[in-house]
Amino acid sequence: MNAYDVIVKPVLTEKSYADISRKRYTFIVNVNATKIDVKNAVKEIFKVDVAKVNTINVKPTKKSQNTKAGRVVGKTSAYKKAIVTLTSDSKPIEFFESLN
């Protein structure tokens, strides 16, 4: 799997912003990617040293909406999230540093 196929997009929330100072970065990754795939992709794309990777499978949630035609029920899509912790002597990821 290509490194750019593993990482789908970064997660930009208040909680993920708070972890940037501790060199913890959150990404939405491919559902089939393993921790080793994520670690190698982050190393290749951002040229940093990765200490640890935690992955979370986010389950879909039900959503409902009332419309003129009646009640519409659906659900959100499932995805996989990875929290990447860098080593203390590694440089920070420039993309996230430019957001602060």
In what order do the strands lie in the sheet containing 50-58?
A: 7-10, 24-29, 79-86, 50-58
Q: Is 68 exposed, middle or buried (0-12, 13-18, 19+ CB in 10 A)?
A: exposed
Q: Is the pLDDT of residue 100 over 80?
A: no
* pLDDT classification of 98: cutoffs 50, 70, 90: confident
Express each pLDDT in 24-41 by its tens digit. 999 999 999 999 999 999
Express each pLDDT in 50-62 by its tens digit. 999 999 999 999 9
What is the residue extent of each domain of the chain?
A: 3-88
**Is domain 3-88 annotated with CATH 3.30.70.330?**
yes
Q: Give residue 97's pLDDT.
A: 78
Tokens 């789908």 appear where? 8
